[in-house]
A and B are shown apart, each in its own frame.
Chain A
C-alpha cells in the first residue's frame, strides 16, 4: 500500500487532488428513545488531516465518536474506518484506531512504560517491536525522561499526553481524541496541540478530535460544526470564516456624518454605528490607508475586525458557545482531578 509522502502537505494543495479517506460516514443516526442525538450526518476524513468536531455541550460529539470507535451502535447509517465496516468488524477496527477518552484511563500505580507495555500486549504489538515503539511514542509526546516514573506523580497534562502516546503504541491509522484538552490550563493545552500537530507531521497520523474551544478548532485542517446532532457547516477554518463575510473596519472621526458621506461617494459599503462609521472590505488591514484618505476629515481611531470562528458559530447556530472551564468539565472528571491533587 503506498503511504504517500504528501500527507503533510498543506491542506489547500492536497484538497485539490483526490485524497484517500480514512473515515467515511453516511447518514449516521443515533436515537435514545424519542430523542435523536445524532441526526443523519455524513462526512469524510481524509488521510493525514486533523479534523475537528466543534459543538456545544450535548451537541452529539461524544455520541458520534463512540459510534466511530465501535463503542456504541448506530441506529441507522454506515461507517467505514480504515476501509473496514465498523458494525461488521469492530475488533479489526479497534486494532486500527487509537482512542483517548474524555475521562482518564491510565493505571496510576504503574509507571509510564508499564502502562504502554500493557497496551502493547492488549493490542498485539509484536514482541520484538514493543521496546522501540515505547521509545518512539514517548519521544513524540516529549515524555522520554519520565519513562520510569509512576503515573500518580504526573500532572494532569502529562497524563493526558501519555494517553495520547499510549493510543499511538499500535500504530493506528486514525487517532480519536474526545475533548483532549478539557480541564487543562492554557499552557498545557498549547503543549498538547504541539504534540498533535507534530504527530501529523512526523507520524502522518490522521487525527479526529472533538472540542468546544473555538481557538482550538483553528488548529484543525477542517472543521465540522455540529449542533443538535446535525452538521451545520464543514470546511477549512479559513473558508468558513471567508464564507460568512468580509472584514469590518470601524472608524471614529471628528465628523462621522461627513465621513460616511465621503466613503459612500467612493463606493464603499458603509453603515453608521455607535462611535463612528463601519466599512465592509475584503482585507481590512490593507484597506486602512485608503479609507483614511477617502474620509477627508481627521480620523480619531481605527478598529479592524476579522471574522472569527465565534462569528461563524453564531452565524450557523444563532448562538454563541461561551462556557467557563469549570462548567465544561464533567462532574465525574472534576472529582477525579480533585483526587489526583490530594
Chain B
C-alpha cells in the first residue's frame, strides 16, 4: 500500500506563520466592515437611539438641572451619549458570534487551519472599528448642542472611542463564546449592558450616589472610559469654573481625583484582560 504525500508539508518559518495569521485577522476584520456597510438600517437605528436619549436627557432634564452660566446639561450628557452609542454597538458586534454560530459561519472559521487567537482578534478589531465609526457619526450633532469641535479634539475622541470599543467588543466576544442560544443573548443584554451604561456616569454625574451604588460604579470598567471622553470634550469648551463644579467629569476614588492618565491605564488594563478572555473563549468553543 503506497500513500500519497501531502502537497504542503513544507515547514514554515515563524515569519511566514505570523504574516499568515495577520492576514487572517485582517480578513475577519474586513468581513465585519463589509457586513456593517451593508446593513444601513442597523447604522440608522444605531443613530436613532442616541438622538432620542439626547432629546429626552438634554431637553427634558435641562429644565430640572438648569444651566450654569450658559453651560447646560445637554453639553454634559453629549459625550456620555456618544459613549453609550459606542458601547452598545461594540457589545452587539462582539456578540454577533451568536449569529455566526446560528447561521453556521462560525464553523467555517473554527475548522480553518489557523489560530483561534487570530480569529478572536479580527472579530474584536472589526467590531471595535464599527463601533468607533458609529460613535463618530454622532459628532455631526455637536454643532446643534453647541459643542465646539477642533481637529485635535476629534482625533482624541476617535482614539478614546476605539479604546473603549476594543474593551467592550472583546467583552462581547467573551460573553458570546459562553452562550449557546439566542435567548441567552437577550438576558445578557438586559442584565449587563443597561446597568453598565447607567452606572458609568454617562448619563448623570456619579458624585451624589449612595455608598453601595458608588461601589458598583467603581468596579464598572465603563466608568473609567466615559470620564476621559468627557474630560477631553470639556477641555475644548469655554467652561466657567462654576460649571465645572456643577458638572464634574473625573472619577474620584477615596477622595482622590484620578488623573486622565490613570483612568486610561485602568481602561488599558481592562482591554488586556478582556482580549485575553475573548481569545480563551474562542479557543474553547466547539
Interface residues of A (CB under 8 A from B): 1, 18, 20-22, 24, 44, 47, 69, 71, 80, 82-84, 91-92, 94-96, 99, 101, 103-110, 114, 117-119, 121-124, 171, 173, 336
The A/B interface has a contact count, at CB < 8 Å, of 104
Question: Are B6 and A84 in contact, CB atoms less than 8 angstroms apart?
Answer: yes
With known contacts A105-B104, A108-B103, A110-B34, A24–B1 Cβ distance under 8 A: yes
Distance A69 CA – B112 CA, assembled complex (angstroms): 11
Distance A119 CA – B24 CA, assembled complex (angstroms): 9
Interchain Cβ contacts under 8 Å between A and B, 7 examples: A21-B4, A44-B1, A103-B107, A107-B103, A110-B31, A118-B108, A122-B109
Distance A92 CA – B114 CA, assembled complex (angstroms): 10
Q: How far is the CB of A19 from chain B (nearest CB, A)?
A: 8
Interface residues of B (CB under 8 A from A): 1-9, 20, 23-24, 26-27, 31, 34-35, 38-39, 100, 103-105, 107-109, 111-114
With known contacts A108-B103, A110-B34, A122-B112, A20–B27 Cβ distance under 8 A: no
Contacts of A123 in B (CB 8 A): 112-113
Contacts of A18 in B (CB 8 A): 1-2
Question: Are A22 and B4 in contact, CB atoms less than 8 angstroms apart?
Answer: yes
Q: How far is the CB of A160 from chain B (nearest CB, A)?
A: 12
Contacts of B105 in A (CB 8 A): 105-107
Question: Are B3 and A20 in contact, CB atoms less than 8 angstroms apart?
Answer: yes
With known contacts A94-B112, A106-B104, A118–B6 Cβ distance under 8 A: no
Distance A24 CA – B112 CA, assembled complex (angstroms): 22
Question: Are B104 and A103 in contact, CB atoms less than 8 angstroms apart?
Answer: yes
Question: Are B6 and A173 in contact, CB atoms less than 8 angstroms apart?
Answer: yes
Q: How far is the CB of A71 from chain B (nearest CB, A)?
A: 6
Contacts of A101 in B (CB 8 A): 104, 107
Contacts of A110 in B (CB 8 A): 31, 34-35
Question: Are B2 and A21 in contact, CB atoms less than 8 angstroms apart?
Answer: yes
Distance A99 CA – B39 CA, assembled complex (angstroms): 30
Closest A residue, CB atoms, query B107: A105
Contacts of B26 in A (CB 8 A): 121
Contacts of A124 in B (CB 8 A): 20, 23, 113-114
Question: Are B111 and A83 in contact, CB atoms less than 8 angstroms apart?
Answer: no
Closest A residue, CB atoms, query B31: A118
Distance A80 CA – B103 CA, assembled complex (angstroms): 31
Q: How far is the CB of B181 from chain A (nearest CB, A)?
A: 12
Closest B residue, CB atoms, query A99: B111
Q: How far is the CB of B230 from chain A (nearest CB, A)?
A: 36
Distance A294 CA – B34 CA, assembled complex (angstroms): 76
Contacts of A22 in B (CB 8 A): 3-4
Distance A114 CA – B31 CA, assembled complex (angstroms): 9
With known contacts A107-B31, A122-B24, A82–B4 Cβ distance under 8 A: yes
Question: Are A119 and B108 in contact, CB atoms less than 8 angstroms apart?
Answer: yes
Closest B residue, CB atoms, query A117: B27
Contacts of B108 in A (CB 8 A): 105-107, 118-119, 122
Contacts of A21 in B (CB 8 A): 1-4
Closest B residue, CB atoms, query A47: B4
Question: Are B111 and A71 in contact, CB atoms less than 8 angstroms apart?
Answer: yes
Which of A96, A103, A107 is packed against the most chain B CB atoms within 10 Å? A107
Q: How far is the CB of B108 from chain A (nearest CB, A)?
A: 4
Closest B residue, CB atoms, query A101: B107
With known contacts A107-B31, A122-B27, A171–B4 Cβ distance under 8 A: no
Contacts of B24 in A (CB 8 A): 121-122
Contacts of B1 in A (CB 8 A): 18, 21, 24, 44
Contacts of A119 in B (CB 8 A): 108, 112
Distance A107 CA – B3 CA, assembled complex (angstroms): 36
Contacts of B112 in A (CB 8 A): 94, 119, 122-123
Contact of A118 among B4, B9, B27, B107 (CB under 8 A): B27
Q: How far is the CB of A51 from chain B (nearest CB, A)?
A: 14
Q: How far is the CB of B100 from chain A (nearest CB, A)?
A: 8
Closest B residue, CB atoms, query A23: B3
Question: Are A91 and B5 in contact, CB atoms less than 8 angstroms apart?
Answer: no
